[in-house]
Homo-oligomer: A and B are copies of this chain.
Amino acid sequence: MQPKSSNGARPIGVFDSGVGGLTVFREIARALPREPLVYLGDSARVPYGTKSPATVLRYAREAAQHLVARGVKMLVIACNTATAAALPTLQQELSIPVIGVVEPGARAAVQHTSGVVGVIATEGTVRAKAYTHAIRAIDPDVEVIESAAPLFVPLAEEGWANTHVAREVAEIYLEPLIDAGIDTLVLGCTHYPILRGTIEQVVGGAVAIVDSAETTAETVRRALGASAGMSDPPHQFLVTDAEERFRRIAGEFLEHEIEHLEIVTLS
């Protein structure tokens, strides 16, 4: 039997298709400042949003196996598309707790809404109706309108989040939801919080924004329970390709230098 303290030193694994999951990583690091985290971005195969559920499941399984082999004590799937395609399977297959981003977002949406929830997400997440199922499981009376917003991912990835172009794209995606009378909007892709300012300008103050990064971090904090932790834990970053691109984007987003960055092969 391992000594009790060893569990505290084992990191939490956070997995995403690329850089979008850093929004979840950041909230977990804020909520649990004494926990070491290991972030895996599958940059060789990003994006997942337009790929089939079977392919996304295969990729998620490979990522999970890699993180488990590194001794993570919990796995967070910080990608909506991968959560929609792989969460139940990974929860069955792995012996550690596995947390996705859809259910926490759905719970927060139900708390905020007085009737009509809008969800913007990738093509894959919308096709799976992941949020509709999760929200209706909590409250069958809530109306859910899901809509794909695929151009938000490259706009975020290219650093165009606060441009006039992003504003115009946001208007095209969001106006049908506003016209449908939503009172709550779920940012159903971990890239989208990067465009939050622009999205808020378009939907206005009357629509509550649910960012599943925050609610997922809260879920992780509760699931973990007590933890030995450590002061100033060393976070680690793994990518499957283009590490210099990741170093630049992650460094800007997290506002500190990315020290422990490693390139790994999944398969």
Contacts and interface: CB of A to CB of B under 8 A. Distances in A.
Contacts of A165: 165, 168-169, 172
Interface of A: 43-46, 50-52, 55, 150-151, 153-155, 157-158, 160, 164-165, 168-169, 172, 241-242, 245, 267
A169 B158 CA distance: 12
A46 B52 CA distance: 13
A55 B44 contact: yes
10 contacts: A43-B51, A44-B55, A55-B241, A150-B158, A151-B155, A153-B154, A154-B154, A164-B168, A165-B168, A168-B168
A153 B242 CA distance: 19
Contacts of A267: 267
B241 A51 contact: yes
A50 B169 contact: no
A155 B169 CA distance: 11
B151 A242 contact: no
A120 to B, nearest CB: 14
Given A44-B45, A154-B150, A242 B169 contact: no
Given A50-B245, A55-B241, 8 more contacts: A44-B45, A44-B55, A55-B242, A153-B154, A164-B168, A165-B168, A168-B168, A267-B267
Contacts of A154: 150-151, 153-154
B241 A52 contact: yes
